Amino acid sequence: MQKVRMGFDLGGTNMRSALVSEDGEVIFSNECETLAQEEADKVINRIKNLIKESVSKAEEKDLQIQSIGIGVPGVIDTDSGIVKSCPNIPHWKNIELGKIISEEFGIKTKVDNDVRVTALGEYYFGAGKGYKNILCVAVGTGIGGGIILNGEIMRGPSQSMGEIGHITLKKDGPLCGCGNYGCLESLASSLAIIREAKEVLDKGKSEIMEKQLEHGMPISAYFVTKALHDGDIEAARIMREVGEWLGIGLASVVNLLNPEIIIIGGGVSLAGNVIFNPVKEEIAKRALKIPRELVKVVPAQLGDSAGMIGASAL
Ligand SMILES: [Zn+2]
**pLDDT digits over 212-240, tens only?**
999 999 999 999 999 999 999 999 999 99
CATH domain 2-107 topology = Nucleotidyltransferase; domain 5 (3.30.420)
- Average pLDDT of the segment spanning 139-157: 93
Cβ atoms of 201 and 212 within 8 Å: the answer is no
Region 39-66: mean pLDDT is 95
Distance in Å, CA 99 to ligand 1 centroid: 32
Other beta carbons less than 10 A from residue 226's beta carbon: 17
- Distance from residue 71's CA to the centre of ligand 1 (Å): 22
At residue 139 the predicted structure's pLDDT band, cuts being 50, 70 and 90, is very high
CATH 2.60.40.1180 assigned to 129-300: no
Q: How far is the CA of 270 from the centre of ligand 1 (A)?
A: 23
pLDDT at residue 162, rounded to an integer: 92
Which residues lie closer than 8 Å to 106 by C-beta, 6 or more apart? Answer: none
Q: How far is the CA of 170 from the centre of ligand 1 (A)?
A: 11
How remote is the CA of residue 186 from the centroid of ligand 1, in Å? 7
Q: Which of 289, 11, 258, 30 is nearest to 140 (CA)?
A: 11
Which residues are near ligand 1, the ion (C-beta closer than 5 Å)? 166, 176, 178, 180, 183
DSSP string for 141-165: SSEEEEEEETTEE---TTS-TT-GG
* pLDDT at 259 (0 to 100): 98
CA distance 278 to 256: 20
CA dist., res. 168 & res. 285, Å (int): 19
Residue 121 near residue 313 (C-beta atoms within 8 A):
yes
Distance from the alpha carbon of residue 167 to the mean position of ligand 1, in angstroms: 7
Taking the C-alpha atoms of residue 175 and residue 156, their distance in angstroms, rounded to an integer, is 26
Fill in the DSSP letter of residue 73: S
For residue 309, give every residue at least 6 positions away whose Cβ sits within 8 Å of its Cβ, in sequence order, or none: 7, 18, 20, 24, 26, 121, 124, 125, 126, 302
Q: Which of 195-199, 271-275, 287-291 has the lowest mean pLDDT?
A: 271-275
Q: What per-residue confidence (pLDDT) applies to 111?
A: 97
Does position 289 have pLDDT exceeding 90, yes or no?
A: yes
The answer on pLDDT for 203 being more than 90 is yes
Q: Average the pLDDT over 106-128 and give the result.
A: 95
Task: Please indicate whether the domains covering 2-107 and 129-300 agree at the CATH topology level.
Answer: yes
pLDDT at 141 over 90: no
Distance 176 CA to ligand 1 centre (A): 5
Bridge partners (DSSP) of residue 16 are: 9, 31
Q: Sorting pLDDT into bands at 50, 70 and 90, what band is 11?
A: confident
Cα 175 to averaged position of ligand 1 atoms, centre (Å): 8
The closest alpha carbon to 28, from 53, 3, 2, belongs to: 53
Domain boundaries, the chain: 2-107, 129-300
Which residue, 149, 154, 1, is CA-closest to 64? Answer: 1
Taking only Cα atoms into account, the Rg of the chain, rounded to an integer number of angstroms, comes to: 20
How high is the pLDDT of residue 142? 87
pLDDT at 267: 85
What pLDDT score was predicted for residue 72? Answer: 94
Q: How far is CA 189 from each of CA 7, 171, 186, 267, 280, rounded to the nearest angstrom? A: 27, 18, 6, 9, 17
On the question of pLDDT at 18 being above 90, the answer is yes
Instruction: Give the pLDDT score at 13.
Output: 85
CA of 164 to the centre of ligand 1 (A): 9
Residue 163 Cα to ligand 1 midpoint, Å, equals: 9
Average pLDDT, the chain: 94
Question: How far is 128 from 45, CA to CA, in rounded Å?
Answer: 34
Q: What is the pLDDT of residue 12?
A: 83
Please give the residue that has the higher pLDDT: either 248 or 86: 248
Instruction: Please state the rounded mean pLDDT for residues 30-41.
Output: 92
